[in-house]
Chain A
Amino acid sequence: MTQDLKKTQFERRIIFLTLFIVVTLPLIFPLGLKTEITPLVQNAYDMIETAPDSSRIIISFDYDPSTITELQPMAQAIIEHCWRRGHKVIATALWPQGASMADAAFSFVIENGYKDKQYGVDYVNLGYKPGGTVTLQALGRDFQTIFPSDMKGTPISEIPAMQGIAKLGDIDAVMSLSAGDPGLMAWIMVASDKYKVKVSGGTTAISAPGFLTYVNKNQQLIGLLGGLKAASEYEKLIGVKGKATVNMDAQSVAHVLILVFITIGNIKAFRIRRKTRNAQMN
């Protein structure tokens, strides 16, 4: 093994160890850093807040466990917000594991102060359907063809929360929590553009810039929750100190550490360049 390779590997280990310590400490000893509400999150919040009482809102769980750190706190906060406003929550999933994510999110919120919420009346989990955009297009024509029953096998005609919903256009708003495709993009293309249903959503921080083009005057997308910071902003708006708020401290410190690494890397590169130039001149 060459000296340079050994040095690189040593540096990597130092970076990994430092990052591990820096991420762990704020999780054990929260810093309580303040979060500022951004317009994108405020708009998403307002969509739920200003919806008429007892609105039927679809929360689509279009993600799997790999992104729960960012998306599950959003789901929990949105469910809590919907229930506070007296809305009915209809959970769907365009990803196979989404139905389990929905179940976990409902259980969490129920355990944390909403034990009076009844399955079938205040919320329902319709489960996973394959097909992405095509499934949503079919939902636009007839809800019952795509979801004849919920996860428990109860026909949707017998579920109180589903009464009066014949097609996608009967839904008051959609929140798609999306980790990729199919997900928020499909909801924008079908529910928002074609059936004029209000659509908002949440994505991982890395995907959020790609969706900003849809936040426009035509309101293809009403607000956007991008990553853990947006989840912590939503928690602040509903007055809850949840997982996102706590984890945000760790993420903030980790980002600053990455900036420090970039600075050190640049100083190192500058010194190497200067050394090489001097050697060439000599």
Chain B
Amino acid sequence: MILTLIIGIIVIVSEFIPHPPFGRLTQTFESWFLIIFGFAIILGQISLVQVNLNKISRREENWIYHLIGLISLFVMVVFGLLWGTLETGGLLGQGESIQAAIGTKPFDYLFDNVYIPLSATMFSLLAFFIASAAYRAFIIRSFESNLLMITAVIVIIGRTSFGSFLTGWLPERFSFFHIPLLTDYIMEFPNTAAQRAILISAALGVIGSSLRIILGIERSYLGSDK
């Protein structure tokens, strides 16, 4: 807690007094942060293995998926360690014979042919859920929802190639009603105004939380209930 207090105050002060020793101290703290961050990744992996092993040993619901997850993790780590990835070699070098057989390193082969398609598929599934949710939930019930609906329709059409197709014929003096321009107006003014309000509020919240941590009022990061 004392360390947090001292380091927090020095980092804040260094932003306002760019003279020695603050610059050098901040630089040192940044190096510490990067080293700690590196270890945090290892800690995260250890935690991941522990959590999954617990679930597998207790045969919890869907334990087989946790097992598959762990196997995938180890396969990627082992392939990465043995033959490296991209241009970087591994413990057994570049694995030329394997590269000759499958065209690339084992890690990169799995990354390109398994991880990328699976990741993209997971994200793409959102489209189906959005379509289904829009059908069920985007219902006009009040004046506000009516406004929201009109805005959403303009922005959705404006963000497609149909936007320019539908109103491209409008004369210059009515160009404001050209859907892509109307969309830009909505995004640039009402949206930006609301976003700024949210950002300012969030920034004030971050300042408050940071001060609470620096001053030791908030101690949950140390494992305390407070």
**Which A residues form the contact surface with B (CB < 8 A)?**
8, 11-12, 15-16, 19-20, 23, 33-36, 38-40, 64-69, 97, 99-100, 103-104, 125, 129-131, 134-135, 137-138, 141, 145-146, 151-153, 205, 209-210, 212-213, 227, 229, 232, 248-249, 251-252, 254-259, 261-262, 264-266, 269
CB distance from B129 to the nearest CB of A (A): 9
Q: How far, in angstroms, from A214 to B137 measured CA to CA in the complex? A: 32
Interface residue? B33 (CB, 8 A)? yes
Please name all residues of chain A whose beta carbon is closer than 8 Å to the beta carbon of B124 when the two chains form the complex: 69
The 8 Å CB contact of A15, one of B132, B160, B195, is B132
Kindly identify, within residues 28 to 46 of chain B, every residue whose CB is under 8 Å from any CB belonging to chain A: 30-31, 33-34, 37-38, 41
The 8 Å CB contact of B116, one of A16, A36, A65, A248, is A65
Contact A227 B159 (CB under 8 A): yes
The 8 Å CB contact of A33, one of B31, B87, B134, B161, is B161
The 8 Å CB contact of B195, one of A103, A213, A258, A265, is A213
Please name all residues of chain B whose beta carbon is closer than 8 Å to the beta carbon of A65 when the two chains form the complex: 115-116, 119-120
Please name all residues of chain B whose beta carbon is closer than 8 Å to the beta carbon of A146 when the two chains form the complex: 34
19 A-B Cβ contacts within 8 A? A16-B131, A34-B165, A36-B168, A36-B180, A65-B119, A65-B120, A134-B37, A138-B31, A153-B88, A232-B161, A248-B160, A252-B162, A255-B159, A255-B162, A256-B162, A258-B134, A264-B135, A266-B138, A266-B140
Q: How far, in angstroms, from A265 to B141 measured CA to CA in the complex? A: 12
CB distance from B35 to the nearest CB of A (A): 10
Contact B138 A265 (CB under 8 A): yes
CB distance from B187 to the nearest CB of A (A): 6
Contact B161 A34 (CB under 8 A): yes
Please name all residues of chain A whose beta carbon is closer than 8 Å to the beta carbon of B157 when the two chains form the complex: 255-256, 259
Q: How far, in angstroms, from A266 to B138 measured CA to CA in the complex? A: 8
The contact string, 1 if C-beta is below 8 Å from chain A, for chain B 76-101, is 00000000011110000000000000
CB distance from B180 to the nearest CB of A (A): 5
Q: How far, in angstroms, from A248 to B165 measured CA to CA in the complex? A: 14
CB distance from A153 to the nearest CB of B (A): 7
Contact A68 B131 (CB under 8 A): no
Contact B180 A130 (CB under 8 A): no
Q: A65-B120, A69-B123 are in contact. List 5 more A-B contacts (CB 8 A).
A: A15-B128, A15-B131, A100-B111, A134-B34, A262-B134
Contact A265 B86 (CB under 8 A): no
Interface residue? B4 (CB, 8 A)? no
The 8 Å CB contact of A134, one of B33, B112, B119, B192, is B33
**Which B residues form the contact surface with A (CB < 8 A)?**
27, 30-31, 33-34, 37-38, 41, 85-88, 108, 111-112, 115-116, 119-120, 122-124, 127-128, 130-132, 134-140, 149, 153, 156-157, 159-165, 168, 180, 184, 187-188, 191-192, 195-196, 199
CB distance from B28 to the nearest CB of A (A): 11
Contact B188 A212 (CB under 8 A): yes
Q: How far, in angstroms, from A135 to B199 measured CA to CA in the complex? A: 23
Please name all residues of chain B whose beta carbon is closer than 8 Å to the beta carbon of A229 when the two chains form the complex: 159-161
Please name all residues of chain B whose beta carbon is closer than 8 Å to the beta carbon of A20 when the two chains form the complex: 128
Q: How far, in angstroms, from A261 to B136 measured CA to CA in the complex? A: 9
Q: Given that A19-B128, A38-B180 are contacting pairs, would A265 and B34 also be in contact in the complex, using a CB cutoff of 8 Å? A: no
For the residues of A in contact with B, the DSSP-based class is: helix
Contact B195 A212 (CB under 8 A): yes
Please name all residues of chain A whose beta carbon is closer than 8 Å to the beta carbon of B135 when the two chains form the complex: 11, 15, 261-262, 264-265
Please name all residues of chain A whose beta carbon is closer than 8 Å to the beta carbon of B192 when the two chains form the complex: 212-213
Contact A265 B136 (CB under 8 A): yes
Please name all residues of chain A whose beta carbon is closer than 8 Å to the beta carbon of B163 when the two chains form the complex: 36
Contact A265 B134 (CB under 8 A): yes
Q: Given that A131-B33, A151-B86, A261-B135 are contacting pairs, would A205 and B159 also be in contact in the complex, using a CB cutoff of 8 Å? A: yes
Contact A256 B160 (CB under 8 A): yes
Contact B156 A259 (CB under 8 A): yes
Please name all residues of chain A whose beta carbon is closer than 8 Å to the beta carbon of B168 when the two chains form the complex: 36
Contact A210 B134 (CB under 8 A): no
Quick one: closest A residue to B121, CB to CB? A66
The 8 Å CB contact of B30, one of A15, A134, A255, A256, is A134
Contact A209 B195 (CB under 8 A): yes
Q: How far, in angstroms, from A236 to B196 measured CA to CA in the complex? A: 31
Q: How far, in angstroms, from A133 to B123 measured CA to CA in the complex? A: 26
Contact B196 A213 (CB under 8 A): yes
Please name all residues of chain B whose beta carbon is closer than 8 Å to the beta carbon of A39 when the two chains form the complex: 184
Quick one: closest A residue to B186, CB to CB? A209
Q: How far, in angstroms, from A134 to B29 measured CA to CA in the complex? A: 10
Q: Given that A248-B161, A255-B156 are contacting pairs, would A265 and B184 also be in contact in the complex, using a CB cutoff of 8 Å? A: no
